[in-house]
Structure formats: C-alpha cells, structure tokens
Structure 1
C-alpha cells in the first residue's frame, strides 16, 4: 500500500479486496470544501480496504482550490487535490480525476453534498460481488427544486433513454461506482459526463450495469450550476452519442446509407424528367431539374465522405492499436496447456 492510501481497521465490507478511489469535481464550492471532505472521511473511516479521495478543483475563482489544499493537509495524504488551470467544466474535471485515480474501483460524486458518501460502500460491494462494471445511483427521493432541477432532469433522462436504449431511471446522478479497468477504456469530452453509461456500452455489455437507490440531500451551501438550458445541451450531445454508439467503428455505413438515399432520390427525379423530355415536354425551367441534380451530387459527396471516414477509422485502429472489441480476461496458460489431445 502506498503512503497516500488510507486503510481503516474495522468492520469489513462484504466485498473482495480492492483499492478504492473516490473522485469529486468541484467548482466555486468553497463553503462545501470542509463539509464534503469530512463527510467522505467519516463515511469511509472504517472502510477495510485502501482508499483515496481525489478532489479536482475545476479552475474555481472563489478560493476553493486553496481551501482544498489546506484542509487536505490536516486530514491526511490520502486526500489528493488536482487543480486545473482554468474552468474546463464538469466533464473535463471528472476525466482529470479519473486519470489521477489509482484504485481498482472508482466512485464519482458531486461536491455539493447532495450525494451521500455513506452510500459508497454499498455501491462498491454490489459492483464487486455481482461482477458488474457499473453501479449507478438512483436518486429515488430527490430533495431539490422541481422547475430548475427535477423537470430538466426528467426531460433529459427520457431523451437519453429513448435515444440510447439505456433503461436507467436517473442518468444524471453523479454517484456511480465503476470498475476502473473498464472506465479507463473510454474518454469523456465536451459535456458527456451524463452519458457515461452510454459510452461504457461501447466497451462492455449493458447487462454488466445496474442501478441502486441512493440517498439525496438538499443543497446547504453555494448555488446550483444547473438549469433548464441543460436540456438543450443534452439534445445536441445526444446526436454525437447516437452516432458513436451505432456507427463509431463503421461510419461508412451511416454516410453510405444517407448517400444512397439522397442519390437514389436524385436519380429517380432525373429519370422522371428524362422520360418527360423524351415525350417532348420542356424541362429546362423546372425546379425539379435543379433538385435532382443537387441530390445526385449530394449523394456522391456522402458516399465519398463515407469512404474517407472508413479510411480514417482504419488508420486510427491500426495506428493507435485501439481495439474494436473488449473481452473479459482469459486465464493465462502456459503454451503447452489447454490443448485438446
């Protein structure tokens, strides 16, 4: 165990041996610094396995970063502070914490004290005992405002379920437990933190994900960073999620299908006009002629884009040695073992 890992010595949690990393992004939450760190410390003080708390200051301008560093020194070296140079937003801050985490299990939660750290051992135990890759928190009894928080969340969750097919009741809950080896197979960009289960479905099966009811508490300090505009950002992000989930490794199928559809429509229009021309009608001033021409050209462009996209994806997989599949670890055998005589 490293010096910066913390081990408690009391009642064991019913889970296999592991190392736990708790990742918390914070932005302008100076009033929540001490309560949040102390709440995690109190919830895990009797945890029987090594653990660390990785807190990411997302470029706060109210002194959150300095407050975190000062308080971490008074608690212990297992409290690690990552400070970003400016505000990169929640997804980037969460990715920074995931990159810094060294545990076999990673738990994420918000820094506003609305997630209950006492739920962490239960989520981790289910993750490991049920051999899952993700256990997501479900805020069954939410304690925040309806118009500004719950309504946007309900709309966003419904849109995400319809688009991704992921049947989670509360995709917006930050309290989640992950198997680190699987979580680190994906990279989070933009504002994709709310789509983590969807991204994970590109490397593992949805059957290896579950949802667990968790406590939810009203915010006591600071101001919420969410609002109704969040729903519009979700709609835009969903387009990217849908594309990468369905065509991330075969973009030629997407652009090819669109190209064949548009080009086929243009060909049909021009064929119709050709028949009229043969029958002696004038087609030079018809808007259909322009529409058919541009549909054919657009279809060709989509087809060429699909070919180029296929070339790029093959260069990516060959050059970066990225994999198009992910499997459970097979047992390591000697070269002479495991053969049928």
Structure 2
C-alpha cells in the first residue's frame, strides 16, 4: 500500500474495494477491521473507498475516525443527500484507481476474506466479472429469499445472462470493463446484464461466497423491492435491446398497429363501396381509426426517441455533488480531496 498513485494505477493487480453505506453507524468500525483482516494476505496494493450515501446518523463521523486511524489507502466519499446505492457505487467506480475493482455491502453480511480468492479466480478463469453466489443465505425466507429467487430466474430468462444470485453485492470486476458502463437509477441490481452489453456473456462467471446474518442496523430492502425489480427489468431489457435504436422498438409496434388498422379499413371500404352497406356505426370503424392514430403516435414517438438517444450519447455525464476526504500524512486528520463525484 506504500506505492505512488502512478504505480498503483498501473499495477496489473492493484485493487480498489468499494463499499456504499447508508445509516450503518454501528457497522463502520467492525467493517473496516474485517476488510483489513480479509486483505492482510493480499500481496498487491489495494485501497478502500467508502461511499456514505447521505447518512443522517453517525456514519459520517465514524468514517472520518476510522479513515484517520487506518491511513491514506482508506478514502471516504460523502453525498450531500441520499442518492441511492446505484449512485454511490458509480461514485466509487469513478474514484477507483485500481486495475481490479471489488464491491461489497456495508452491512457485514459479505465476507471480505473471499476477495483474494475471487481475484485469483477472476484471472485464472480469464473473466471480466466474477459474481458472488450466496448459496446459503442468512436472510428471512419470505421477505428476502423467495422474492430473490423469483427475480433471479426471471432476469436470467429475460436477459439470457443466467446467474444464481444477481442481488449479491460481492463482485470483482476488471476496471476497464466496468468503466465502460454508467450506472443510474437503480441499475446496480443488473450490473451483470449491463456488462454483458460490453463483453461476452462467457466472460461473466460466479462463485460461491460466504454470507452472514446482519448483526447491526436494519435492512434497507423489503418485499416491495420485488415490484421495483420488475420495472427495472423491463427498462434493462429495453435499453439492452433498443437503447441505441429506440425508434426500432416503437416503430415495429407502430407498423404492426398500422398494418392491422389498414387491413380493417380496407375491409370496411369493400363493404361500403362494394356491397353498399352502411359502416358509420360499426365498431370496427372506430377500432381501425384508433389503431391508425396509435400507429402514427408510436412512429412519431420513435423519431423523438431516436433524437433523445442521440442527444444522450452526445451529452456530458450528470454529476452528483458530494464531498470526498482522504487521510493526509502532512495534515492532521483529513482534508477535502475533491468536490464532486460522477454517478
């Protein structure tokens, strides 16, 4: 860990460990102790990036104390308000300097001692992402386990990236791959899916990891998360298949409606002029008109979506304002390192 920034950034196995925290005051001290114990045998340089996602308890103060205690390899980023786990993880990715990046939760349920083995496995299997699999989860059956199993199977079926445990935050990435994607909303649940958009699915693997029951604090997730996962899954499917060409998605539906409406209208024209029947009060007339109008709206929406997509890809990244600290050997305590982090 006594390496320069340049040496750290260029070392092939330099490690950045990113841990987002929100309202985890009691977990901070044991978490840092466990991370240092777990990485004590790691022979290569590493850093620890702790992202405080706008906690309102004593998490921030505990982080400052522990950062000063452990030294310069411990870095803290604090959001001015709560932006969510996805934004916290993206801020950590932006701040990370290692060639290998690992993420885990701040609730002590993931075991940092798994990291050295996972990093060795990442390189041995030549993967871009190694996903943790909590084979023996220490969570409530109804609130956490059952919804998670349903979500994992549904995600794998819809996206084609089949993993046992999408929800496990314990992951190890190659830095150059994870930096090719930008996380926003609640995309952290689908990181393997997004990575599959920039690398081959065969380069995404999983391995069994240790999972412990929560000792301090309360879980931030409940049964309601299942419904959000369904909405996020729909968004993930859309962006993966049509993110760069949304006009095709709306256009195909619009063309389908337009063809059906046109066939209905052609049938009515034959009935009107060929058979001489009155079609003014027929429900089929109103349905065909509705389909044609809907088709026109969908086609127009597709054009607007194409314009928005091109604007999005050409635009600069959004920034969440936050404060970051890093232990400084030349100053007492800590100092402000930078004023913002991208997410």
TM-score scaled by length of structure 2: 0.87
Q: Secondary structure at the match of 1:256?
A: helix
Report the 3-state secondary structure (helix = DSSP H, G, I; strand = E; otherwise coil) of the residue aligned with 2:90: helix
Contact in 2 for aligned 1:4/1:77 (Cα 8 Å): no
Q: Counterpart of 2:78?
A: 83
Where relative contact order (Cα < 8 A, 6+ residues apart) is larger, the structure is 2
Which residue is 1:9 aligned to?
A: none
Q: Secondary structure at the match of 1:306?
A: helix
Q: 1:320 to 1:128 in 2, by over 3 A?
A: farther
Q: Give runs of aligned pairs for residues 4-23 of structure 1, distance below 5 A.
A: 17-23=12-18
Match of 2:272 among 258, 270, 277: 277
Contact 2:12–2:99 (CA<8 Å) still a contact in 1? no
SS of 2:218's partner is coil
Does 2:285 align with 1:289? yes
Question: What is the deviation of 1:147?
Answer: 1.1
Gap runs ≥5 in structure 2: 318-343
CA change 1:321–1:76 in 2 (3 A) is closer
Q: 2:299 & 2:140 partners in 1: Cα distance?
A: 48
Q: Following TM superposition, by how much is the alpha carbon of 1:321 offset from its aligned partner in structure 2, in angstroms?
A: 11
* Distance in 1 of aligned mates of 2:306 and 2:82: 35
Q: 1:129: how far off?
A: 2.5
Q: CA separation of 1:228/1:37 partners in 2, compared to 1, >3 Å: closer, same or farther?
A: same
State the 1:96 CA deviation.
1.1
Residue matched to 2:335: none
Among candidates 295, 299, 302, match of residue 295 of structure 2: 299
Instruction: Within 5 Å, give how 1:91-240 maps onto structure 2.
Output: 91-240=86-235
Contact 1:3 1:77 in 2 (8 A): no
TM-score, scaled to structure 1: 0.87
What is the CA-CA distance between 1:300 and the residue it aligns to? 2.0
Deviation by residue 1:201-256 (Cα, 9 ceiling, x = unmatched): 11111011100100111111111111110100001111110011111122222112
Structure 2: how far apart are the matches of 1:167 and 1:204?
15
Distance in 1 (CA, whole Å) between partners of 2:217 and 2:76 is 20
Q: Distance in 2 between matches of 1:288 and 1:64?
A: 64
**In structure 2, the residue corresponding to 1:222 is in which secondary structure?**
coil
Equivalent-residue separation in structure 1 for 2:88 and 2:307 (angstroms): 33
Q: Is the 8 A contact 2:15 2:100 kept in 1?
A: yes
| Counterpart Cα distance in 2 of 1:307 and 1:254 | 11
Q: Matches of 1:287 and 1:239 in 2, distance apart?
A: 33
What is the RMSD computed on CA atoms of the aligned residues? Answer: 2.0
The answer to whether the Cα contact below 8 Å between 1:23 and 1:53 also exists between their aligned partners in 2 is: yes
Pick from 215, 235, 249: which aligns with 1:254? 249
CA deviation after TM superposition for structure 1 residue 113, in Å: 0.5
Q: Per the alignment, in what secondary structure is the counterpart of residue 103 of structure 1?
A: coil
Q: What is aligned with 2:4?
A: 2
Higher strand proportion: 2
Deviations 1:2-61 (A, max 9, x none): 37999xxxxxxxxx9421000000000101000101100111123110100000011111
